[in-house]
Amino acid sequence: MPEPQIFLIALGANLPFEGNAPQETISKALNDFNEFGLRVTAKSKLYHTPCFPAGAGPDYVNAVASVQAELTAEDVLARLHELELRYGRERQVRWGQRSLDLDLLSAGETILPDRAGYERWQSLSAEHQRAFAPETLVLPHPRLAERAFVLVPMADIAADWVHPVTSKTTLQMLDALDDAVVDGVKAL
């Protein structure tokens, strides 16, 4: 069994599910984490964020949670996918609208598939990443440093987290973003 480690998970939703608004879906999903072997150690506030990419649908509710688990990153990802299915997630369009989106952001200081593989995927254009999904898990999340809707809630619970490739903290990555983009992420 793997050693316990901390995983950071982004949560987002912009579609209702079974009559529940996105913020209710996120709250319920967080309550279900323990059932999947993911012990929530911290969770951010909920945030209203503009849809990404712009104009692709209703705005989102986003949050970030820190969980502890004695699982591999791949096992955590599989459990997150099971949770998404429970809440009606359909994987039809990459970066499309969804009732629940759970993204594994990091697994301790792990770099997957390896440093070269991470850097290769991270250097691809957003358009290329939108068109093609990686065949293996890439960690830390390759677009983490570009997304205010992830970094703002992440700063609530892991402001001093250090990216294992760039050596930048959450706050340093957040400070590098355009102020107008960051200001668009509003606490609920």
**Residue 110 has what pLDDT?**
96
- From residue 150, alpha-carbon distances to 38, 71, 72, 116, 178 in Å are 20, 23, 22, 24, 14
pLDDT at 98: 83
C-alpha to C-alpha distance for 3 and 30, rounded to whole angstroms:
22
Percent of the chain scored above 90 by pLDDT? 77
pLDDT at 91: 61
Query: What is the per-residue pLDDT across 62-77, written as a single tens digit (0 to 9) for each?
Result: 999 999 999 999 999 9
130 versus 43: which is more confidently predicted? 43
Residue 43 · residue 20 · CB < 8 Å: no
pLDDT at 108 over 90: yes
Say if residue 92's pLDDT is above 70: no
* pLDDT score, position 52: 66
CA angle 18, 61, 41 (to 5 degrees): 95
Give me the mean pLDDT over the 88-94 stretch. Answer: 65
Average pLDDT over residues 16-41: 96
All structural domains of the chain with their residue ranges: 5-187
What's the mean pLDDT in 120-148? 85
Which one has a higher pLDDT value, 91 or 73? 73
């506030």: which residue's tokens? Answer: 45
Q: Which long-range contacts (CB under 8 A, 24 or more apart) does 138-144 make?
A: 138/112, 138/113, 139/73, 139/104, 139/105, 139/106, 139/107, 139/110, 139/111, 139/112, 140/105, 140/106, 140/111, 140/164, 140/165, 141/10, 141/103, 141/104, 141/105, 141/106, 142/118, 144/105, 144/106, 144/173
CATH number, span 5-187: 3.30.70.560
Whether residue 96 is predicted with pLDDT greater than 70 in this model: the reply is no
Buried-state track 148-175, b at ≥16 Cβ within 10 A, e below 16: bbbbbbbbbbbeebebbbeeebbebbbe
**Mean pLDDT, rounded, for 21-45:** 97
Q: To the nearest whole number, what is the mean pLDDT of the chain?
A: 92
What are the DSSP calls for 128-160, one per residue?
HHHH---SS--BS-TTGGG-HHHHHHHHHHHTT
pTM, entire model: 0.92
Is the pLDDT assigned to residue 145 strictly greater than 70? yes
